[in-house]
Homo-oligomer: A and B are copies of this chain.
């Protein structure tokens, strides 16, 4: 195959790029392709030329539309895909549909694809990769996870000799910004969310971010790649950050922990563990130091040990860094006449472990009756479920209500046992409220 396409490629005077979308990311990608055309041509060996931009009518009023030659725009999908000079289709509209149809169409017609779309890759990546392989083209999605931070490339190439045992990632900048403000400034969740919205870090409808949905897309991609498995977003246990209170941050700090929304993937001999939820992590760990909208991804491999990648996880500039690098990689493949290279590896067939079976330590915050014997009752319930207490601290007492707030840290226990214990604790007369429980990663 590569002999033919190689021979064909030798005649190429330029590589054609077709862009789908004209949002901030697409606009920035177009800008880089134009402003850095000389440097990029030097990397590729011939110029990269923007041939067509598939837009929606409303895109034409955007500021970035004024930066481009209006002859490039088309609202007609068929016209876009019928443009023979397009070698590489860059999809930057996001979301599952119609991106899925566009990617299928591009790959089926033998065009290399670059996308920054985490949702469509997380949900349909395996389908696209089969199609890419079948058609001898590449599927590039570096920008789908961690913005400009190199992650997909390192997993596909630099870390490939490793058996990856764990991924611990702060991969949603919006929630990390909110958690940072709650930790640093003592803000409550609604105020921190409002601040994030004012600054443009959170959307008007922030659900995908604050409920951890965005993070599950990214974790599905990373864990599928790292574990040679097909991890779907729906396989991932998920909790958002909205039930965290400033009280939790205060106690976490007193206990020597930070609270982060982590995307966690672990691999054991026979199963995979994948989950996104708030966790206590030691305050002197590197991940605990990752503040604001930054992302950081810690990877553990059998050879490399711990490696961590840190940077801006979003934003048009950082994302364009990854998209344009992918375009150059695809263009080099077009020039040499080879296919995409790195496809999803044969799957190991490992199953995702049910959440009930995971084991971790827990932080519990309870509101209880302020009278003797309460601890005995609580520790009996925990003990009945084989849960040991590693520390117990009585916090605020409310003498009028005759209640006290207590904080319990447990030793490692199984999630199922903890959930049963929480049910029983909730039914104790002396327990007024289970105010929160947060898992701990040490």
Residues of A within 8 A of B (CB): 2-3, 6-7, 32, 36, 40, 42-43, 142, 147-150, 153-154, 157-162, 284, 286, 289-290, 301-312, 315, 317-318, 320-322, 324-325, 328-329, 332, 336-338, 341, 345-346
Contact = CB atoms under 8 A, between A and B. Distances in A.
A317 B162 CA distance: 10
28 contacts: A2-B337, A3-B6, A3-B7, A36-B161, A147-B304, A148-B159, A148-B301, A148-B303, A150-B150, A150-B153, A153-B153, A153-B158, A154-B158, A157-B325, A159-B321, A161-B328, A286-B286, A301-B321, A304-B322, A305-B311, A305-B317, A306-B310, A306-B311, A306-B312, A307-B310, A308-B310, A309-B310, A336-B338
Contacts of A318: 303-305
A32 B303 CA distance: 9
Contact of A321 (B303, B310, B329, B345): B303
Contact of A317 (B303, B308, B337): B303
B322 A158 contact: yes
A413 to B, nearest CB: 31
Contacts of A2: 6, 336-337
A161 B308 contact: no
Nearest to A43: B160
A307 B305 contact: no
A321 to B, nearest CB: 4
Nearest to A310: B308
Contacts of A43: 160, 345
Contact of A307 (B40, B311, B315, B345): B311
A166 to B, nearest CB: 14
Contacts of A321: 158-159, 161-162, 301, 303-304
B161 A150 contact: no
Given A3-B7, A150-B157, A301-B321, 7 more contacts: A42-B345, A158-B321, A161-B321, A286-B286, A289-B289, A305-B311, A307-B311
A303 B326 CA distance: 14
Contacts of A312: 304-307
B150 A42 contact: no
A324 to B, nearest CB: 4
A52 to B, nearest CB: 21
A320 B303 CA distance: 7
A307 B341 contact: no
A157 B153 contact: yes
The 6 residue pairs across chains A and B that have the minimum distance between CB atoms: A150-B158, A307-B311, A148-B304, A303-B321, A161-B324, A308-B310
A158 B346 CA distance: 25
Contacts of A36: 161
Contacts of A7: 3
Nearest to A323: B161
Among A7, A32, A157, chain B packs the most CB atoms within 10 A around the CB of: A157
